[in-house]
Amino acid sequence: MLKLAGLPTLIIAGLMAGPASAQDAATTEAPFTLGDLPYAADALDPVIDAETMTLHHDRHHRAYVDNLNKAVAADEALQGVTLEDFVANAGTYPAAVRNNAGGHWNHTFFWESMVAPDAAGEPSEELAAAIEAVYGDMDAFKTAFNQAGAGRFGSGWVWLIVNDANELEITTTPNQDNPLMDVAEDKGTPIIGNDVWEHAYYLKYNNRRPEYLSAWWGVVNWDVISQRYDAALATAN
C-alpha cells in the first residue's frame, strides 16, 4: 500500500500531502491558488537564472493552477475535491484535471526541493546511509539519477522515491504525472523530484539537459529532502 510522507507544507490525513498554497478547495471560483516562491527569483543563481525561475513560476506554474480551476469550475462533480485526491486518483479524472493537478503539485514540490547554493547542505546520516546501501555512494546515486532524467523521452520528471518496500528507488514519469498517482508505473513517496521539461532549463542550458541535471545538485535542499525521508519512514511504521 502506498504511503505518503509528511512533506513540507504538504499534509493530508497524516498520509497524503499537497502544497499548502493549494489547500483551500472550499470555494468554487478559485479553489486552488499559486503560492509565492520560497526564495527570491535570483536565489538559485548561477545554477538556475532569475529569468527562468520567473517564467517557470509566474507563467508555467500559474497556467497549471488557472487551468485546473477552469476544469473544476466547468464540472460540478469536481467541485470540492482536494488536490490530493486529484493526484492520487488521477486516472479517474479528465485529462485536464490529471495534467493540471499534477503540474500544480509537482511544481510546488519542486520549489520546496531547492535552496540557495550556499545553503544546500548535505543529506542526513540516515538518508546518506540509505543512498549508499542502494547505490554504493553519493556520486553513483547522482549519476544514476542524472542518467534517468536525461533518458526521460520528451517532457517529464525524474524522482527519488521511497517505495512500498521502504527502499529508495529512482523513477521517471511523463508529462505532469508523479509517483503518487494511481496511473504511475512505479509508485511511492517522492522525496526528490527534478523537472526535465525544457522550460525548466532551456534559457540557460539550451538542449543540454545532462548539464542542467548535473548542475542542479548545487541547489538541492538536503535538509528538506532528509525530512521527507524521515517522514516517509515514520508514516510506513
Question: Tell me: the pLDDT tens digits for 94-110?
Answer: 999 999 999 999 999 99
Q: Could you give the CA distance from residue 192 to residue 215 in angstroms, rounded to a whole number? A: 15
Backbone angles phi, psi at 232, to 5 degrees: -60, -45
Q: Is the pLDDT of residue 21 over 80?
A: no
Residue 192's DSSP bridge partners are: 160
pLDDT digits (tens, 9 = 90+) for 28-48: 468 999 999 999 999 999 999
Homologous superfamily, domain 47-237: Iron/manganese superoxide dismutase, C-terminal domain (3.55.40.20)
- The pLDDT, as a whole number, for residue 23 is 43
- The pLDDT, as a whole number, for residue 18 is 44
Mean pLDDT, range 220-229, rounded to an integer: 98
Burial 32-65 (b: 16+ CB within 10 A, else e): bbbbebebebebbbebbbeebbebbbeeebeebb
Q: Could you give the CA distance from residue 178 to residue 187 in angstroms, rounded to a whole number? A: 8
- The pLDDT, as a whole number, for residue 159 is 98
Q: What is the pTM of this model?
A: 0.87
Percent of the residues in the chain that have a pLDDT greater than 70, as a whole number? 87
pLDDT digits (tens, 9 = 90+) for 7-20: 443 333 333 444 44
**Domain range list for the chain:** 47-237
- The pLDDT, as a whole number, for residue 235 is 87
